[in-house]
Structure 1
Amino acid sequence: MEFVLKHREFAHLREVKALPNALNPHKEESLALVKAMIDQVMALHEDLQWFHIGCDEVYYLGEGEESKQWLQQQDNTPEKLCLSHIKAVATCLASSYPMVTPIVWDDMLRGMSEETLAESGVPQLVQPMIWDYAADINVEGKVQLIEKYRRCGFSKVWFASAFKGATGVNQSLTLIGHHLRNQLEWLQVASRSPVDVLEGIALTGWQRYDHFSVLCELLPVAIPSLAVCLQALKNGGYSEKVKENVENLLGMSNLEVDTFMR
């Protein structure tokens, strides 16, 4: 929301007055703003099956004045506040575009109890995208998280890896080996998950860590990494044959994954 809430005309919709990175979920105008953004994207992509509505890293949710008052009421919690907003946005999307399935980042959901998630009704409305961009993700932990989401009522999950970015806020060149290992870890998670649970994997390519940050490495230097990551996922692993395939596709004589190339 930062690129919208930074503007003076939308500043009154911030959750915390001084910070443009979270939306006040109590104002009707907030939902109208989100709906307008959804409509603009849909106007350009009419045949969408899925629509990612974000909802990650809402660090200051609950810290606005209206939220503080809401949280003083009995049984109200930051988790319920988050889920009610996700539900409102997903319901808004479903009413206008019933053939489109909303996706949400899962980090705000991870720590919530199964009971809270199940009772919210959110699992029937969205598909969570589990993100982790590390070279050594906790495979067992991810498998358990998927099982938890299934028990809560989510029908499908997505994974999110990274082919660039995620290794440093001002990174200049892509660490191919790091991103390759990230894909291989996700392949392990996939192999240990029920066959019908995984909807897909999104290879994220970061431009910057937030709207006010410097740019990290740009797309041109990351194309070899993207090719390696896609081929590793397509082939279920990385081998000399996959390496040769990437070299042929890109017209490179020697692909290095663990050192920076000229």
Structure 2
Amino acid sequence: MAAGGLRQRLVHLDLKGAPPRAAYLRQVLPLLRTLGATGLLLEYEDTFPYTGPLEPLRAPHAYSRQELQELLGLAKEQGLEVVPLVQSFGHMEFVLKHKEFAHLREVYYLGEGEESKQWLQQQENTPEKLCLSHIKAVASCMASSYPTVTPIVWDDMLRGISEETLAESGVPQLVQPMIWDYAADLDVESKVLLVEKYRRCGFSKVWFASAFKGATGVNQSLTLIGHHLQNHLQWLKVASSTPTDLLQGIALTGWQRYDHFSVLCELFPVAIPSLAVCLQALENGGYSETVKENVEKLLGMSNLEIDTFMSTSLGTFPGSTILSLVTQVSFYLKSSVDELLERNRYVTGWFSPYHRKRKIIHPIIMHHFQPDAISLLSKWNAVVQDLQVAMEQVFHNSTVEEWMEENVHPSLQKLQQVVDDLDKAIKAQT
């Protein structure tokens, strides 16, 4: 049984980057259930099959209506509650970037738009009250249209607002705050005090939000499990000091981009071991050798590394090949190419950019590094080819292309260029 009040454990699927194909998600849902998830926090962003006036928001790789219905049906069969995460305040880039919705833009900072500035000039109006009035408007609209649905709000904007202002706003009767912190060393005591403050303001329930990936670097490619496990162990401590009738549950976030315009961070399959460790730690009220062995069994991995990125065994979970190949690329591609181009004395001494440009090559020296360059290139081409195949089974082409351009092409193209320049220089000698 879960420790404290963490009976609800929602796994966040951030679909604003690298959205998996529907077929892959169908494979993953039963695993999430087995690992200890009780629900999904589905962030559709531009992958929702919008129609009518909202159709411009729909990305080319958006899910079809039928795919989503099947997915939601499967979630229900698995006993997973689905909580849709629909932006309505922050992170509206996917909407506001379209010219059709440009008239709704505020500049990025609250209170900087023309209408907001006028409103803030009136006596007693503050950015906090502006924020609360917007939350209240959206939540009231929800309450009248869907009386059985309770909105949850991320608590960034609420934290700094005084108890008095919060209590007077009427917001605590309409929403439940999600208190988020993704740090490995989150301050337990200050979180407990924040929970107490929210209760005094009139909120009847609170949620926590941890992270199993996507919170340690904007272009992170591998997941540091130890960081995320520590984050969850800290949340367990907060939970043990929170009244169970107040705590609804926890959302394990897995950000796929920091926002709509930033690069991809760790791909979902790469982070499955981290998610497994975190879910199992929550379900068992801590982490132990037994929990580790259980995770290894569930993922088909013989050796799970928590404190380094090097989990050598492949695993049998959906997408495990991607984890194995991404690990190789992330660890060795750039370093092996740099080793050859920047630290091999024959390349730096006898085939510098100056030589390459003028096609000058010493015929004897060439034999000292040409075979190395060619074999390194063929090795990486083979690895990248395998990764491409594995990724195409899980992701759409646009994701594969983006990941390769960010993580593979810079090094691979440098290597290819050296091999090509060698060929040209040799031909020029004959």
**Under TM normalisation by the shorter chain, which class is it?**
0.7 to 0.9
Distance in 2 (alpha carbons) for counterparts of 1:215 and 1:190: 31
Partner of 2:225: 176
Q: Which has the higher helix share?
A: 2
1:109 maps onto 2:154 in alignment = no
| Corresponding residue number in structure 2 for 1:11 | 102
More strand per residue: 1 or 2? 1
Instruction: Measure the CA separation in 2 of the matches of 1:93 and 1:142.
Output: 28
Q: Percent identity?
A: 88
Give the aligned residue type for 1:116.
T
The match for 1:245 is 294
Matched, 1:255 2:304: yes
Aligned residue identity for 2:198: Y
Residue of structure 2 aligned with 1:137, choices 186, 190, 203: 186
- For residues 275 and 242 of structure 2, the distance between their equivalents in structure 1, rounded to whole angstroms, comes to 25
Alignment of 1:122-133 (within 5 A): 122-133=171-182
For residues 116 and 270 of structure 2, the distance between their equivalents in structure 1, rounded to whole angstroms, comes to 44
Q: What is the CA deviation profile of residues 181-235 of structure 1, one whole-angstrom value per residue up to 9, with x for unaligned ones?
A: 0000000000011121110100000001111100001001100001000000000
Partners in 2 of 1:207 and 1:215 — Cα distance?
A: 6
Alignment counterpart, residue 245 of structure 2, candidates 193, 196, 199: 196
**Partner SS for 2:302:** coil
Show the counterpart of 2:259.
Answer: 210
CA distance in 1, matches of 2:237, 2:275: 19
Alignment partners' CA distance in 2, 1:220 and 1:146: 33
Map 1:69-80 → 2, pairs under 5 A: 69-80=118-129
RCO higher in structure (CA 8 A, sep ≥6): 2
TM-score of the aligned structures, taking structure 2 as reference length: 0.51
Query: What SS is found at the alignment partner of 2:249?
Result: strand
Question: Aligned Cα RMSD in Å?
Answer: 0.7
SS in 1 for 2:252: strand
Matches of 1:148 and 1:83, distance apart in 2: 17
Rounded to whole Å, the distance in 1 between the matches of 2:270 and 2:131 is: 37
- CA-CA distance at 1:12 after TM superposition: 1.1
Aligned pair count reads 220
Q: Give secondary structure in 2 for the equivalent of 1:101.
A: coil
Partner SS, residue 116 of structure 2: helix
Q: 2: CA distance between counterparts of 1:195 and 1:163?
A: 23
Q: Distance in 1 between matches of 2:191 and 2:248?
A: 15
Q: Which runs of 4+ in 1 moved over 6 A?
A: none
Q: Distance in 2 between matches of 1:166 and 1:260?
A: 16
Which residue in the other structure is 1:98 paired with? 147
Gaps of 5+ in 1: 20-59
Letter of the structure 2 residue corresponding to residue 11 of structure 1: A
- Give the structure with higher Rg (CA): 2
Cα distance between partner residues in 2 of 1:157 and 1:245 = 30
Equivalent residue letter for 2:104 = L
Question: After superposition, what is the alpha-carbon deviation per residue over 1:226-261, rounded to whole angstroms, capped at 9, x for unaligned?
Answer: 100000000000000000000000000011100112
Aligned residue for 1:15, secondary structure, equals coil
Q: What's the CA shift string for 1:70-93, capped at 9, x where partnerless?
A: 001011110110000000000111
